[in-house]
Amino acid sequence: MTVPAAPSLAPSVETGTAPTTWQVRAREFLSEYGFLVFFAIWVAILAATTPLFLTGDNIVLVLRQASIFGIPAIGATFVLIAGELDISFGALLGLSGVAGAATMVAGFPPILGIAAALGVGLLVGVANGLLVTVTKIPSVVATLGMLTILQGVGLVVTHGSSIFGPQIQPLIYLAQGYVGPVPIPVLLSAIAYLVAWFVLTRTPFGMHVYLIGDNAEAAYRTGINVDRLRLVVFALAGALTAVGSLILVGRVGQSDAVLGTDALFPVLTAVILGGTGLQGGRGRIQNTLLASVFLASIVNGLILLGVDPSAQSVVEGGILILAVSLDRLRR
Question: What is residue 323's predicted lDDT score, i.e. its pLDDT?
Answer: 74
Cα torsion 228, 234, 240, 242: sign: negative
Determine the Cα angle at 33 with ends 29 and 39, to 5°. Answer: 135
Asked if residue 14 has pLDDT above 50, the reply is no
Residues facing 73 on adjacent strands: none
Tens of pLDDT along 26-35? 766 766 667 7
The answer to whether 247 touches 172, Cβ cutoff 8 Å, is no
CATH code 1.10.3470 for 58-330: yes
- Report yes or no: 77 and 271 within 8 Å, Cβ to Cβ: yes
Beta-carbon contacts of residue 48 (< 8 Å; ≥ 6 apart): none
Give the model's pLDDT for residue 17. Answer: 52
Task: Tell me what percent of the residues of the chain surpass a pLDDT of 90.
Answer: 66
pLDDT digits (tens, 9 = 90+) for 52-85: 999 999 999 999 999 989 999 999 999 999 999 9
Residue 310 has pLDDT above 80, yes or no: no
Alpha-carbon gap, residue 149 to 138, rounded angstroms: 17
Average pLDDT over residues 129-146: 95
Distance CA 151, CA 171 (A): 22
User: What does the alpha-carbon distance between residue 237 and residue 161 come to, in Å, rounded to a whole number?
Assistant: 27
User: What is the structure's pLDDT at 319?
Assistant: 80
The mean predicted confidence, pLDDT, of the chain is 88
Q: Which pLDDT tens digit goes with each residue over 83-125? A: 999 999 999 999 999 999 999 999 999 999 999 999 999 999 9
Q: Is 12 exposed, middle or buried (0-12, 13-18, 19+ CB in 10 A)?
A: exposed
Spatial CA neighbour of 91 closest among 128, 60, 61: 128
